[in-house]
Structures are given as C-alpha cells and as structure tokens.
C-alpha cells in the first residue's frame, strides 16, 4: 500500500495536497507541477492528500478502499449530535447473552469499523483475534478466575471456580459467543509509538463496540481478562499469541433490554468559566 506519485494530466496544481500533508513528500517542481518525493520524510499513509484532492489525482498502489459518498464533505449531516448522544447514553455493557453465534458478516462489520480508528502516526500496530470456540472461552474463563479470585472476593481460585460452576454462571465472559482481542506483537521497533499503544487499542476497541451497538449486538470490555494476563501467561498460550493484549471485548446478541439511561457524575470542567 503506497502513494506512488501524481497524475499530472489531472492535477490542477491547487497545492492542497502540499498544504494538507503533515510530512513533506509533496513539492513544487521548476515547471510548476506538483511532485511527490517518496524519499522525503516517510509518508505515513494517512491518506489526507487523497481525501482532499479535488481531481482525485494522487496515484496509489494497493489501496482498494478509497470511497466517496453523499455527506462525506459534511460529516455532521451523516449523524446529528442528538442521535449520536442518545446512542452513547443508551449503550450498556452487556452481561447476558443469547445462546446464538453472531453471523460472520456482522462480525466483519465490527472489524471494519475498528479498521477506520485513528492511531498514533497512523501505524495501526495492533493485531486482531477472535475466539468463538466455547471450550476455549471456558478454559480462558477458568484461567482468569484462577488469577483474579482475590479481586473477585474469594480466598482461592478453586472456591471461585466451584461457586460459579454451582450457579452455572461465567463471571468473565457471561456466556457471550465471541471474544475479540486486540494485541501487539512483542517486538516493536519504534519506542515512541509504544507509548500510544494503549490509546490506539482503546480507540479501536471503542469503535468496534459502537459499531456493534448500531448492529443490535451487545459488547462488554474485558478489563479483568486483560489484567489477568500479566499474572498468568498461560492465557496467552490458550489465545495462541505472543505479545501484549491491550483491548478485548465480548460480543453477542443481548438477552436483555434496558429501559432507562444510567446516572453519571456531573461534569466538572476547569477553565469553562473563562468561556
Ligand atoms: C477499560 C474497561 C474495562 C472493563 N472491564 C470490565 C470487566 O472486566 N468486566 C465487566 O463486566 N465489565 C467491564 N467493564 C465495563 C464497566 O464496568 C462499565 O463500562 C461501567 O460499569 C459502566 O457501565 P456501562 O458500560 O453499561 O455504561 C470495563 C469497562 C472498561 C472501559
């Protein structure tokens, strides 16, 4: 996937690409044409030059998903604040699920939404994993309980496991049919970008969860599962990955409906009085 130059026959030399780019591969040539020098500060493939070019004159290689549609120039017309705000307030962490797998095409839609999440320097360094095998989910749940039993209010892992078996409840994945995991492979070259991994994974996870909500699916962030990995590397073996898990959520059809919003503490914003 790369930008390979400019279609000079189409380019109107408006220089919008040059002004928009936060790096500097675009330049004005002696004859006034706009050039693209891939050897300058590396292009981060943010695609802003493609998105802004009035003539669609940026030449690309291996990019199949560049698109346009009504409303793209004014995103606020795609979903108005009140609708978005209502969705944000109505979205709950779901802890009761129907015994039914989510069709693959809906799952792909959730992943597609995560693909469009912003990330530090547009790196999208995380990897995706989905676990839909009930036996594996049950094994993972047991390992998490074994690691988190104190936090869960028990004095041994065995007691916690026996208790949840006796009430036929999985306190980790709540019977959800799928677990989606965002992880980073251990070897990362760029130390600066390492600092943003948690933010990036958090945003992508949130995109996925909001997309799921709009599809009638339920989700719940799996912080307890994520936290247990630090104390139980066996969880990574069951997942079949090597690295750091920085985002995880369960996915399924909710078996419940909520009738009201939930309370939140009032806003306190320093500096608002200066507005
Ligand atoms: C980072 C993070 C980790 C979380 N971990 C868990 C978890 O391990 N288990 C769980 O049942 N809920 C978990 N939650 C869900 C929160 O408990 C939930 O968002 C909060 O109680 C508010 O409820 P709501 O999401 O329905 O508005 C987590 C949420 C976040 C943002």
Could you tell me the domains of the chain?
Answer: 2-61 (3.30.70.20), 77-252 (3.40.109.10)
Pick the residue whose CA is nearest to atom 26 on ligand 1: 92
Q: What is the pLDDT of residues 193-213, one digit of tens each?
A: 778 999 999 999 999 999 999
Is the pLDDT confidence value at 89 over 90? yes
CB 38 within 8 A of CB 25: yes
Q: What is the pLDDT of residues 90-142, one digit of tens each?
A: 999 999 999 999 999 999 999 999 999 999 999 899 999 999 999 999 999 99
- Name the pairing type of β-strands 34-36 and 26-28: antiparallel
Ligand 1 atom closest to the Cα of residue 224 is: 8
Q: Single out the residue of 209, 219, 180 nearest to residue 95, CA to CA.
A: 219
Ligand 1 atom closest to the Cα of residue 222 is: 8
Q: Is the CB of 198 under 6 A from ligand 1?
A: no
Ligand 1 atom closest to the Cα of residue 172 is: 9
Residues recorded for the chain: 275
**Rounded to the nearest whole angstrom, what is the distance from the C-alpha of residue 93 to the centroid of ligand 1?**
6
Is the pLDDT confidence value at 64 over 90? no
Position 39 scores a pLDDT of 74
Pick the residue whose CA is nearest to atom 28 on ligand 1: 221
**Rounded to the nearest whole angstrom, what is the distance from the C-alpha of residue 135 to the centroid of ligand 1?**
24
Residue 180 pairs with which residues in a beta bridge?
Answer: 130, 249
Q: Single out the residue of 115, 96, 112 nearest to residue 104, CA to CA.
A: 112
Q: Is the CB of 265 under 6 A from ligand 1?
A: no
**Rounded to the nearest whole angstrom, what is the distance from the C-alpha of residue 262 to the centroid of ligand 1?**
13
**Rounded to the nearest whole angstrom, what is the distance from the C-alpha of residue 223 to the centroid of ligand 1?**
7
Pick the residue whose CA is nearest to atom 2 on ligand 1: 223
Q: Is the CB of 224 under 6 A from ligand 1?
A: yes
**What is the percent of the chain with per-residue pLDDT over 90, rounded to a whole number?**
83
pTM summary value: 0.94
**Rounded to the nearest whole angstrom, what is the distance from the C-alpha of residue 238 to the centroid of ligand 1?**
23
Q: Give the residue carrying structure tokens 């004005």.
A: 28
Pick the residue whose CA is nearest to atom 9 on ligand 1: 222
Pick the residue whose CA is nearest to atom 21 on ligand 1: 93
């Amino acid at each position: 996937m790369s930008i390979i130059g400019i279609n000079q026959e189409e380019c109107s030399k408006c220089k919008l690409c040059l002004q928009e780019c936060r790096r500097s591969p675009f330049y004005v040539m002696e004859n006034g044409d706009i050039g693209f020098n891939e050897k300058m500060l590396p292009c981060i493939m943010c695609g802003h030059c493609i998105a802004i070019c009035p003539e669609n004159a940026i030449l690309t290689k291996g990019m199949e998903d560049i698109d346009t549609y009504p409303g793209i120039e004014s995103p606020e017309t795609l979903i108005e604040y009140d609708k978005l705000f209502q969705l944000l307030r109505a979205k709950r962490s779901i802890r009761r699920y129907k015994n039914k797998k989510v069709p693959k095409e809906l799952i792909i839609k959730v992943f597609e939404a995560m693909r469009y999440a912003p990330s530090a320097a547009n790196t999208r360094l995380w990897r995706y994993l989905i676990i839909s095998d009930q036996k594996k989910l049950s094994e993972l749940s047991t390992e998490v309980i074994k690691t988190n039993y104190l936090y869960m209010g028990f004095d041994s892992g065995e007691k916690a496991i026996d208790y949840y078996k006796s009430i036929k409840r999985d306190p980790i994945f709540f019977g959800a049919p799928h677990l989606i995991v965002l992880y980073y492979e251990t070897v990362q070259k760029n130390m600066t970008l390492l600092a943003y991994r948690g933010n990036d994974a958090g945003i992508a996870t949130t995109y996925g969860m909001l997309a799921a909500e709009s599809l009638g699916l339920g989700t719940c962030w799996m912080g307890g599962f994520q936290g247990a990995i630090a104390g139980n590397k066996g969880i990574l073996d069951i997942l079949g990955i090597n690295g750091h898990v920085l985002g995880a959520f369960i996915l399924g059809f909710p078996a419940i409906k909520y009738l009201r919003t939930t309370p939140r503490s009032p806003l306190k914003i320093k500096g608002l009085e200066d507005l």
